[in-house]
A = this chain, B = another copy of it.
Amino acid sequence: MNRLEIALEELKKKRVSTGIVLKPQNIYYLTGFYPSAFAALLLQENPTLLVSPMDEKLSEAAGVEVEVVKNFRRRLKQIKGKRVGIEKGYASYEFYERYLKSKRVVNLGFIEEMRKVKDRGELKRIKTAARIAEKVMGEVAERLAQTESEKELAAYAEYLLKREAGAAFDVIVASGKNSAIPHHTPVNTKLETSSIIVDLGAKFEHYASDITRTFSLAESKTFSEFYEAVLEAQRAAIERCVAGNFAKDVDLAAREVLREYRLDKYFLHSTGHGLGLEVHEAPKLSAQNSREVLQEGMVVTVEPGVYREIGVRVEDMVLIGKKPKLITSFRK
């Protein structure tokens, strides 16, 4: 069975007559067509893709029937059935109120459930995206000493990513005290050399990579201490990236190491996340994700960090299997 057929089977099990898929990544996953404007995939006996006139040409490649829609509002009001499926975490309340208020709404969460485990074609793209990111990270590392500002370096890294493939997200370059802000936006001031966090990812054929390295051009005891702790936490976390383990155990392993260094309270985010068509997708490697079990074929990032007067974060990509398998390998 192909993906679309599996999805239709799931719908049948839920006794849903029509599923309305709005999220571009999910539409792409099921049809091979990546919408550039608003679109809706109607999962039903005869699956139909509703696309804007702007996407008429692009949608020719889709593996399902395509209907070009000029007035989506009118078209969506025609959807029949008592039980209708939507992506509850993606569809807006307004969408529900406008089109589905008199219906019973069922979640189409199984699509993202399917996406968690990657097939061979997906893994190939993810690995290519990872290789491109590593290559760019290498070029960034060589340029550090001559770099003017965070902004200049981030713009350059993105140029390299985009020339070759695409950028999965805005590159983060955070130096000195800015490195203590996990999602810092690069600024125009001079690059501080005490600690330089570079977080970047490529997008290759819609699939993302995501890696982080932290550099230091100065001798600093604080940096060395943080760096050692973070690397040890990362190693412990990666060891738990084994099929059958709980996702939360990966997070707890990293936290445990940082606790030994008395740095756990400066670790401000979860240990990692799945990635694929989205940079952040399931599974979340978080202590709060209590029931998720890791499965063979999942791809996750492992990225512990410490954020105090300066910050250090190291992030690699791991393929879950009987053993953990590192997808990225560049190390300063």
Closest to A186 in B: B162
Provide the bound-state CA to CA distance between A185 and B34, in Å: 11
A292, CB-defined interface residue at 8 Å: no
Please choose the segment from A75-83, A113-121, A151-159, A253-261 that sits at the chain B interface, where 4 or more of its residues have CB less than 8 A away: A151-159
Q: Which of A89, A93, A183 has the most CB of B within 10 A?
A: A93
A258 to chain B, nearest CB (A): 14
Number of contact residues on A: which range applies? 35 or more
Q: Which of A133-152 contact B (CB under 8 A)?
A: 151-152
The residue of chain B having its C-beta at the shortest distance from the C-beta of A148 within the complex is: B163
Closest to A68 in B: B268
Contact, CB under 8 Å: B105 / A93: yes
Chain B, Cβ-Cβ closest to A149? B163
For the complex formed, measure the closest distance between the CB of A184 and the CB atoms of chain B, giving whole angstroms. 8
CB-nearest residue of chain B to A88: B94
Chain B residues whose CB sits within 8 angstroms of the CB of A52 once the complex forms: 268-269
Q: At the interface, yes or no: A57 with Cβ under 8 Å from chain B?
A: yes
Q: Which residues of B contact A88 (CB under 8 A)?
A: 92-94, 97
A92 touches which of B89, B151, B269 (Cβ 8 Å):
B89
Contacts of A268 in B (CB 8 A): 52-54, 56
List residues of A (40-82) whose CB comes within 8 Å of B's CBs: 52-58, 71, 73
- With an 8 A cutoff between CB atoms, is A96 at the interface? yes
Q: Give Cα distance in the complex from A286 to B56, angstroms.
A: 19
Q: Which of A159-214 contact B (CB under 8 A)?
A: 159, 162-163, 166, 170, 180-183, 185
**CA of A52 to CA of B52, assembled, Å:** 37
A95 at the interface (CB under 8 A from B): yes
Contacts of A269 in B (CB 8 A): 52-54
Chain B, Cβ-Cβ closest to A97: B88
Q: Which of A55, A57, A95 has the most CB of B within 10 A?
A: A57
* Pair A151/B180 contact, Cβ less than 8 Å: no
The docked-state distance in angstroms from the alpha carbon of A181 to that of B35 is 12
Which residues on the B side are within 8 Å of A183 (C-beta)? 36-37, 54-55, 58
In the docked arrangement, what's the CA distance between A112 and B202, Å? 33
Assess A181 versus B37: contact at CB under 8 Å? Given A151-B162, A159-B159: no
Residues of B within 8 A of A96 (CB): 93, 96
Report Cα–Cα, A52/B154, bound state, in Å.
24
State whether B163 touches A155 (Cβ < 8 A). Answer: yes
Say yes or no: is A224 at the interface (Cβ < 8 Å to chain B): no
Residues of B within 8 A of A217 (CB): none
CB contact between A90 and one of B71, B92, B166, B170 (< 8 Å): that residue = B92
Q: When A and B form their complex, which 5 residue pairs have the shortest distance between CB atoms, in order from nearest?
A: A36-B183, A155-B162, A159-B159, A88-B94, A155-B163
A-B contact pairs, 17 of them (CB 8 A): A36-B185, A37-B183, A53-B268, A57-B180, A86-B93, A89-B92, A89-B93, A89-B94, A90-B92, A92-B92, A92-B93, A93-B93, A93-B95, A154-B162, A158-B158, A158-B162, A166-B170
Other CB < 8 Å A-B pairs besides A37-B183, A88-B97, A89-B93, 20 of them?
A36-B182, A36-B185, A52-B268, A54-B269, A55-B183, A57-B180, A58-B181, A58-B183, A73-B288, A86-B93, A88-B94, A89-B94, A90-B92, A92-B92, A151-B163, A155-B159, A155-B163, A156-B163, A158-B158, A158-B162
